[in-house]
Chain A
Amino acid sequence: MTRNAIEITGLGKQYIIGANQLGRRPGQDTLIDTISDRFRLMTGRKKATRNRETNSFWALKDIDFTVGQGEKVAIIGHNGAGKSTLLKILSRITEPSVGRIELIGRVSSLLEVGTGFHPELTGRENVYLNGAILGLTRSEVRAKFDEIVAFSECERFLDTPIKRYSSGMKVRLAFAVAAHLEPEILIVDEVLAVGDVAFQNKCLGKMKEVSHDDGRTVLFVSHNMMAVEALCERGIVLEHGKVVFDGATREAVHQYYLTSIAASNQDVRSIAEEHYEAESDVGFRGFKTELKLAENRTLDLTIELEAFSKNGRKNIGVGIEILTAHGHLVSSLAPKLTNFIVPDLDVPRRCVFSFDDISNHLASGEYVVSVWLAIPRVRPLIRRDHVGGFTIPPQDPFGVGVANDYNTYGVARLPVKFHVDGEGV
């Protein structure tokens, strides 16, 4: 390890949320409100109702870490874990509430590609404008102009206003400018999540090249675990504004999955309650879904419930339905189909559905579960919709750095292979 490039000590950021002293929200007051509030507070006609403490929360707290020169570090965590706040502070967009950061070397941060692009300006004009916004001087842009244009693949449209560009072209041009920043410390937010796959790979390649060849320090935030693993050797996991893990990327990613599973399991526990139908004398309770990370980093899913009957009914079928969060049926495991039957309910019985390697069959996203008990092939006895759910975390089935969320790519993961026939037709 050489010198440090980034030193963070005791960093914290506090936000005031909700209402101010008189119950108004920040940014929503008008001049009159402020003046009258001041007046009322001054004259004591109205007392301050709440104090600052109760209305504030710490988006980041007690963050301490250092990054050595040339290190590539990934910051991972769920939405709201504090990643963006950390990047905003490092990029000087917002100030920390406490603590200190020292950045040694020229810093560029890229929280978005194409910031400040103006639709009426031509591609050429936007390259200069965007370059200046990202901190390049005009002579620097001029020196790299041809390279930038070549990378963007937009040569022919340079003098066209970019409002006539396709969104793909806009992103390519924007990333091309960004890719030619030459800072010593590069701070990058989720910018690879745009553009088509081929271009994303090109960007990832460029980022690798930039960071490995020139010994640059990179701080990278992404939800894309493949990109994270490809690019970074160290990972820092944030959770509720705190560093919960700091170590090798592979373990950090593992930790991230664990926390996402824990979070989704926690949701389910809170809705566990007893369901009973007096008329048909059957019920269930203790509904639970659980995702476990197996040794080989695949996910196993178990769905459990406890069926009971006060008068000991016999031959009760147990069915579950798995749906997407939008309510599309993924799979109905009806007793008629499965013949999953509880022979007797003299005592409550635990019923367990276990799905090995579920993540190999379902795309990532949120799923909900409905449960019913029935006399198979005759009639249902009790049915409860959406009693719980589970979340399959993002995966990258084809190893290209794109997460397979079901909204875009469909629910099923098919055992597909692809080859191009060498013979020719």
Chain B
Amino acid sequence: MSTPSQKPSSELSSRSLVIEAGKTERAYWADLWRYRELFWLLGWKEVVVRYKQSLLGVSWAVFRPLVTIGVLSVIFGGLAEVETGGIPTPLIVATGQLPWAFFSQALAQSSLSLVNNAPLLTKVYMPRLILPASGVVTATVDFLISLAILVALMAYYGMFPGLSFLLLPVLLLLVASTTMSISLWAAALCVKYRDVKHIIPFMVMIGMYISPVAYRTDVLVDRLGSKLPQGWEWIMDLYYINPMVGVIDGFRWIFFDDVSLHWPGLMVAIVLTIALSLTGIVYFRKVERSFADFV
């Protein structure tokens, strides 16, 4: 379907499709590529539909991150007076919120993508992977808006990122991959176990506090680590098991010169992402085989 020729031609006629019990894997990955246009369209659809018929329309996409940044800054900066190492609290929050909002939004949409699109799944063939994946497209749009807010805030505070800022696409890819790896599991599990529907919003809410969205990771590790009895400081290393810790740290690192990167943390995030992606794909494919019979 990606061939430019539209009329049936002899070249197309020679293409044959074999459907054999338990042997559909081969065509799957090629199809994923052929359906890339549908992937974009589904992502675009979610963006358009989200803001149609709402009073504030697209301004929601600006309003929401602004309010989140405002509230978290007041609580963590104004009230709790969490140490920020000289960086204004709103900037700490905005850099944390940038990948976190991407993650939480994409996950919320992707985890339900199969269940919500059940009518589509039972009537049309497509590589089902594109459904959770298109949630990432939608989140990217909001990501760009949040990024603009962050840039404006930085300009306001007179802070400018160094050259490491050029790594932004790499980090976007990282957060997208991390999100995707968890989304795959969530979407596939949700088909069989509707519990996932309740777990995800809960995870996102709690996750915002236990991930370093509104505070610096090094500050948390130092402060809590100093309260641990001697010889038990290694416990703080467990904090990096949450892959989003490494991801958020990475974002702060490219925006602020004086935030150093905890490399092991980033490595943990990358390794976990790869592991979750691979197992997620295997599990997703396994569940996908019986989707149409299940949902």
A interface residues, Cβ below 8 angstroms from B: 15, 26-27, 29-32, 34, 88-107, 109, 111-112, 115-116, 118, 120-121, 125, 128-129, 132-140, 143, 161, 182-184, 214, 216
B123 an interface residue at 8 Å Cβ cutoff?
yes
Closest 3 pairs (CB-CB, A-B) = A92-B125, A101-B19, A94-B292
Set of chain A residues within 8 Å of B15, measured between Cβ atoms: 104-106
Expressed in whole angstroms, the Cα–Cα distance for A50 and B262 within the complex equals 54
Q: Is A132 touching B294 in the complex (CB atoms < 8 A)?
A: no
Expressed in whole angstroms, the Cα–Cα distance for A111 and B123 within the complex equals 6
Which positions 135-171 of chain B face chain A at CB distance < 8 Å? Answer: none
Q: A93-B122, A121-B45, A133-B38 are in contact. Are A102 and B7 (CB under 8 A)?
A: no
Query: How far apart are B50's CB and chain A's nearest CB, in angstroms?
Result: 9
Q: Is B193 touching A31 in the complex (CB atoms < 8 A)?
A: yes
Q: A101-B20, A102-B17, A136-B1 are in contact. Are A112 and B123 (CB under 8 A)?
A: yes
Expressed in whole angstroms, the Cα–Cα distance for A120 and B50 within the complex equals 9
Set of chain A residues within 8 Å of B193, measured between Cβ atoms: 29-31, 34
Interface centre among B8, B14, B22, B53 (most CB of A within 10 A): B8
A133's contact among B48, B122, B124, B295, by CB below 8 Å, is which?
Answer: B124
Q: Is A128 touching B41 in the complex (CB atoms < 8 A)?
A: yes
B49: nearest chain-A partner, CB-CB: A120
B interface residues, Cβ below 8 angstroms from A: 1-2, 4, 6-8, 12-22, 24, 37-38, 41-42, 45, 48-49, 52-53, 119-126, 189, 192-195, 289-290, 292-295
Q: Is B294 touching A26 in the complex (CB atoms < 8 A)?
A: yes
Set of chain B residues within 8 Å of A161, measured between Cβ atoms: 52
Expressed in whole angstroms, the Cα–Cα distance for A155 and B1 within the complex equals 27
B13: nearest chain-A partner, CB-CB: A105
Query: How far apart are A136's CB and chain B's nearest CB, in angstroms?
Result: 7
Q: Is B8 touching A99 in the complex (CB atoms < 8 A)?
A: no
Expressed in whole angstroms, the Cα–Cα distance for A204 and B49 within the complex equals 34
Expressed in whole angstroms, the Cα–Cα distance for A382 and B126 within the complex equals 62
A-B contact count (CB 8 A): 133
Set of chain A residues within 8 Å of B45, measured between Cβ atoms: 118, 121, 125, 129
Starting from the known contacts A30-B195, A93-B122, A105-B15, 4 additional A-B residue pairs (CB-CB under 8 Å) come to: A27-B295, A93-B123, A96-B20, A111-B123
A4: nearest chain-B partner, CB-CB: B16
Q: Is A121 touching B19 in the complex (CB atoms < 8 A)?
A: no
Q: Is A132 touching B18 in the complex (CB atoms < 8 A)?
A: no
Q: Is A93 touching B125 in the complex (CB atoms < 8 A)?
A: yes
Q: A93-B122, A100-B20, A105-B13 are in contact. Are A88 and B292 (CB under 8 A)?
A: yes
Q: Is A121 touching B124 in the complex (CB atoms < 8 A)?
A: no
7 intermolecular pairs with C-beta atoms under 8 Å apart: A101-B18, A105-B16, A106-B8, A106-B12, A106-B13, A132-B37, A182-B6
Interface centre among B20, B123, B194 (most CB of A within 10 A): B123
Expressed in whole angstroms, the Cα–Cα distance for A104 and B53 within the complex equals 45
B191: nearest chain-A partner, CB-CB: A27
Q: Is B120 touching A105 in the complex (CB atoms < 8 A)?
A: no
Q: Is A95 touching B22 in the complex (CB atoms < 8 A)?
A: yes
Expressed in whole angstroms, the Cα–Cα distance for A93 and B121 within the complex equals 7
Set of chain A residues within 8 Å of B24, measured between Cβ atoms: 92, 95
B1's contact among A29, A98, A137, by CB below 8 Å, is which?
Answer: A137
Expressed in whole angstroms, the Cα–Cα distance for A327 and B16 within the complex equals 53
B41's contact among A129, A139, A183, by CB below 8 Å, is which?
Answer: A129
Q: Is B17 touching A107 in the complex (CB atoms < 8 A)?
A: yes
Expressed in whole angstroms, the Cα–Cα distance for A184 and B16 within the complex equals 11
Q: Is B41 touching A132 in the complex (CB atoms < 8 A)?
A: yes
A133: nearest chain-B partner, CB-CB: B124
Expressed in whole angstroms, the Cα–Cα distance for A355 and B289 within the complex equals 52
Q: Is B124 touching A103 in the complex (CB atoms < 8 A)?
A: no
Q: Is A97 touching B21 in the complex (CB atoms < 8 A)?
A: yes
Q: Is A103 touching B192 in the complex (CB atoms < 8 A)?
A: no
Set of chain A residues within 8 Å of B21, measured between Cβ atoms: 95-100
Query: How far apart are A70's CB and chain B's nearest CB, in angstroms?
Result: 11
Expressed in whole angstroms, the Cα–Cα distance for A182 and B8 within the complex equals 7
Q: A29-B193, A30-B194, A138-B37 are in contact. Are A103 and B125 (CB under 8 A)?
A: no
Q: Is A135 touching B1 in the complex (CB atoms < 8 A)?
A: yes
Q: Is A133 touching B120 in the complex (CB atoms < 8 A)?
A: yes
A128: nearest chain-B partner, CB-CB: B41
Set of chain A residues within 8 Å of B4, measured between Cβ atoms: 139
Q: A88-B292, A100-B21, A133-B38 are in contact. Are A109 and B125 (CB under 8 A)?
A: yes
Expressed in whole angstroms, the Cα–Cα distance for A192 and B6 within the complex equals 25
